[in-house]
Amino acid sequence: MLARTASLNIRIDPETKRSAEQLFSAFGITLTDAVTMFLRQSIITGGLPFELKLPQYNAEMLAAMAEANKLAKSGMGFDTAQKLLGKLKA
């Protein structure tokens, strides 16, 4: 007689596992249920059940992201939108 289930062992960081379990719990499913759904959809679609693509950013967006990272690391913050706008105009 064939087994009705098979075991699948995967390695994943604990925080990702906890977050995923919490998310799936809100839907009333277990992590095992979610993995099973992923595998079945992969079979049905003949590939990953979502689109994989690299983000494409133009030079302007890359410059804005670099500036945002620089500001975030500097700890610069603003109490009001007016102060932010004043700094941007300076």
Looking at the predicted structure, is the pLDDT value of residue 3 above 80? no
Q: Hey, where are the domains in the chain?
A: 14-45
Output the pLDDT for position 86. Answer: 84
Q: What count of other Cβ atoms lies within 10 Å of the Cβ of residue 21? A: 13
Segment 6-39, tens digit of pLDDT: 999 999 999 999 999 999 999 999 999 999 999 9
Segment 36-73, tens digit of pLDDT: 999 999 999 999 999 988 888 888 998 998 988 887 88
Structure tokens of 20?
């995923």
Output the pLDDT for position 23. Answer: 96
Q: What is the pTM of this model?
A: 0.57
